[in-house]
Amino acid sequence: MLDIKDFSIFENHSNFDFKGFLLKIASYWKWFLVSLIIAFTIAYQVNIRKEKIYGMQNVISIKEESNPFFTSNTSLVFNWGGISDQVTGISTILQSRSHNEQVVSKLQYYIDYLTQGEYNLIDSYGSVPFYVDIDKSKGQLANSLIKIKFINANEYEIRIPFETNSASLITYADNTYSNTAVQASEYVKRFKVGQQVSLPFLNWKLEINDNPGLYTGNEYFVRFNDFDGTVSRYKSINVDSDDKGGSILTLGMQGTNKARLVEYLNATVKTLIKIQLDGKNQFANNTISFIDSTLVAMEAQLKQTGNELKSFRKDKNILEIEGGNKVSDKIMAFDVEKDNVTRKITYYNSLKAYLNNSVDYSRLPAPSVAGIEDPNIVSGVSKLIALSTQRSEMAYAVKSEKIFKDFDSQMQALKSVLLENIASAKSSLLYDLSLVNAKIGEAESTVKRLPEEQQELLKIKRKYDLNDNIYTEFLQKRNEAEIVKASNLSDIHFIDPAKDIGGGLIGPKTSVNYILALFLGLLIPLLFVFAIFFINDSVQNADDISKVSQIPLIGVIGVNKDGKNLAVFDKPKSALSEAFRGIRSSLQFLYKKQQVSGTKTLMITSSISGEGKTFCSINIATVFALSEKKTVIVGLDLRKPRLADEFNLTNQLGVVNYLIRQNSLSEIVNKTQVPNLDVILSGPIPPNPSELILSDTMKELIDELKKNYDYIILDTPPVGLVADALELAQFADVTLYIVRQNYTKKDMITLLNTRIKRGELNNASIVLNGFENKAKYGSAYGYGYGYGDYSNGYHEQYEKTGFFKTISKRLNKK
């Protein structure tokens, strides 16, 4: 049946030992040092291998420029929708795919010009002495390095290593990929500068730049990259608006080559200026195109009527038949008026049909070509063209359906208003047309009273004059449109073009890498120490013992670095010897407290094998013997005896021989080299050690030893493995429980608590063995085994071998 004391294992659960953890961290300083050296070495190597990153920028302003030649008669108006809308639209266009495709294609930035640096290839655009003029309609070797070496000023050699029998080609005319067969070897061939190179995998002409400098013997590399991938990189251009001025934009880019950045930033703005001017000129271009098509027809009609008039006048006396000039002038005025009205009606009909049947309104001609000056019509058409143009420009850059729906809603509203205005204007024009027709009818009735030849002449002249008038008017309007187009100004202006004036270096952030190296160099070993601290459940220091047990700790024994178990006898003035003397003093206090007189017995045990019971037994017995007390060590570990080896004895006779009454006490006692110290070995290993220890003969042995010795040291087997030590506890005045640093589990201490509460062990104390003063397992405690600098003069000084000296010795041995 379980006793309540069995549950003591759940008592005294320790909290996190922060002090012990910090001391453990400090003890692993060599790990941290090595980790930091490795981390900083890696950071240094990364930093020296990284290419420098530069940041370049230019500044532009957006200001709506009014054309000085705009008049109420030209009405060739184009409006981008105000400054705020322009800023948003321009920012979007600059980052759009379609816009950057134009710039990349124009600058041919899909071609890399490289040189070999100390650690990697360097983008040398702008500093190489040559350029390649490629045939875009033919395939170029894709994503592979083409090595170029100048043999002399007019000859170069190319080298291309082909690893397989197939090479990938890219054709920049349509950005398609294909493959061609090659030999899996290095292709080497020489060409003249300026010579057309036509190979299955290469089609270019290499030309030398102006002022190339010395380049003979130098090596360069050319690489043809993916077009879409190149465009994607340049889409990352940064566009920021000035908080102080909303119409000011700053364009910025980052990269490894300043010349490439400068050229791209300026080229993207110049391309945008051209796009914006083309948009502004769209209205004028539409008008000119419309007028040109009309003039062709009018020119044919004018030529025909001129020939008719010339034929009629031939062989006739024009002076006799000419007359009715007043009537002719009057009819001419009516015809011009009718033509103006008819043209307006025709324009309105055409405009209505275009609005109802089309979705692209960017090609609408100006209303002024038909003589329409209605501000509602003129404004509506210009706004519709502006919206349609802006929508088409944003088609590739904006993916939001909401924005396009907003454009469509605005254009639909404008269409509705225009259709209403057209209907109203047409009804008014139809009334004017009926009035003009009535006036022409009256004039023609007057003409009918003239002679036939005069009527025929007036008819021909009437047609000719009308065509001539219309032709002249259209020529005038075409000139107006050309003037407006030529005088249009872009709303985008350079404030500061991009320029390399030195500086601009923004990376790499070497300090960040070193900070990261410091962080990782500390973190990685820290994690290892942290894992060791929590995974390792063994006793590390005296605090660990005090947290799990109330059993007194009467001594701390340092590490026996010499490997000799007779440590006190061999080096009586060492710190280790002083630690055992301190335990002797504590034991004498315990004996006195328990009022033990005469012979004192001491049982030494532990949890498991290997914790140093025999080592402690020998040296505690030695300090008693050296104080001139007759002392005997009794080897009662009948299962795994070790005492014979420590004293260079044979284990033929011992306790077992006495217990089976085979030999007497005097026959099993062995003298040692330590004065006043005897040792009784365990003897042959018996088949029934527990039964022998429980026998009455065991009590007889102890009683007989008490007659001859002052101190009896019982070296027993581990109490955590066998019950022999528990049976021997009845013969001991004091029990020493040996705990070894970084070896004994804390649960074993808890088990010891349970045995003491049950009364299985009496008068027990703990000794911490194998403790390293400067070890990686704990802290220094002043229990009389070192005392640091204060021990100088009290203990013998032994030379300590340092870390670097140890390594040096090992290397020399090799």
Q: Crossing angle for the helix pair 83-94 and 258-280, nearest 10 degrees?
A: 130
Strand extents, DSSP E, 321-438: none
**Rounded CA gap, 33 and 811, in Å?**
21
Residue 795: pLDDT band with limits 50, 70, 90: very low
**How high is the pLDDT of residue 65?**
61
Q: The domain containing residue 304 runs over which residues?
A: 274-496
Two tokens, residue 42: 């890696």
Do 90 and 161 lie in one domain? The reply is yes
Domain count along the chain: 4
Do 142 and 113 lie in one domain? The reply is yes
Question: What is the DSSP secondary-structure string of 703-742?
Answer: HHHHHH-SEEEEE---TTT-SHHHHHGGG-SEEEEEEETT
pLDDT in tens, 238-247: 998 876 666 8
Do 692 and 560 lie in one domain? The reply is yes
Do 189 and 334 lie in one domain? The reply is no
**How high is the pLDDT of residue 167?**
94
Element (H, E) at 115: strand 111-116
Do 563 and 708 lie in one domain? The reply is yes
Do 492 and 610 lie in one domain? The reply is no
Q: 302: Cβ–Cβ under 8 A, 6 or more apart, which residues? A: 464, 467, 468, 471
Angle (CA) 271-274-279 rounded to 5° is: 130
Q: Crossing angle for the helix pair 282-313 and 258-280, nearest 10 degrees?
A: 40
Do 554 and 657 lie in one domain? The reply is yes
Residue 8 has pLDDT above 50, yes or no: no
pLDDT in tens, 729-774: 888 889 899 998 888 888 888 888 888 888 778 888 899 888 875 4
Instruction: Identify whether the C-beta of residue 327 lies closer than 8 Å to the C-beta of residue 446.
Output: yes
Beginning with the edge strand found earlier in the chain, give each strand of the sheet holding 140-141 in spatial order. 140-141, 166-171, 176-181
Instruction: Identify whether the C-beta of residue 203 lies closer than 8 Å to the C-beta of residue 134.
Output: yes
Do 25 and 110 lie in one domain? The reply is no
Two tokens, residue 784: 């009389």
Residue range 220-238: average pLDDT? 93
- Confirm whether 767 is domain-assigned: yes
Chain centroid to CA 189: 42
Averaged pLDDT of the chain: 79
Instruction: Identify whether the C-beta of residue 571 lies closer than 8 Å to the C-beta of residue 796.
Output: yes
pLDDT in tens, 263-307: 999 999 999 888 878 777 776 777 777 777 777 776 777 777 777
**Rounded CA gap, 47 and 438, in Å?**
93
pLDDT in tens, 617-655: 899 999 999 988 999 999 888 888 888 888 888 888 888
Do 531 and 559 lie in one domain? The reply is no
pLDDT in tens, 417-426: 888 888 888 7
**Rounded CA gap, 318 and 507, in Å?**
92
**How high is the pLDDT of residue 27?**
76
- Weakest-pLDDT range from 162-171, 557-566, 660-669, 775-784: 775-784
**Rounded CA gap, 42 and 328, in Å?**
100
Residue 38: pLDDT band with limits 50, 70, 90: very high
Q: Prior bond to 200 cis, omega within 30?
A: no
User: Which of 289, 274, 312 has its CA nearest to residue 365?
Assistant: 289
C-alpha distance from residue 456 to each of 39, 447, 450, 451, 526 (Å): 107, 10, 10, 9, 114
Two tokens, residue 510: 């070497």
- Confirm whether 813 is domain-assigned: no
Instruction: Identify whether the C-beta of residue 20 lies closer than 8 Å to the C-beta of residue 541.
Output: yes
Two tokens, residue 198: 């036509």
Two tokens, residue 173: 């005319």
- Confirm whether 321 is domain-assigned: yes
Do 531 and 565 lie in one domain? The reply is no
Do 224 and 282 lie in one domain? The reply is no
Do 382 and 480 lie in one domain? The reply is yes
Residue range 306-324: average pLDDT? 57
**Model confidence pTM above 0.85:** no
Helices (H), 57-152: 83-94, 97-107
First to last CA, the chain: 64
pLDDT in tens, 374-411: 777 877 777 777 777 767 766 554 555 666 777 778 88
Two tokens, residue 235: 């889409």
Q: 798: Cβ–Cβ under 8 A, 6 or more apart, which residues? A: 574
pLDDT in tens, 547-597: 888 888 888 888 887 777 788 888 888 888 888 889 898 888 888 888 888
**How high is the pLDDT of residue 690?**
81
pLDDT in tens, 428-476: 878 777 877 777 776 666 655 555 555 566 666 666 666 777 777 777 7
The residue length of the chain stands at 814
Residue range 502-525: average pLDDT? 87
Q: Crossing angle for the helix pair 510-535 and 18-27, nearest 10 degrees?
A: 120
**Rounded CA gap, 281 and 65, in Å?**
13
Q: What is the CATH number of the domain that holds 731?
A: 3.40.50.300
Residue 309 has pLDDT above 70, yes or no: no
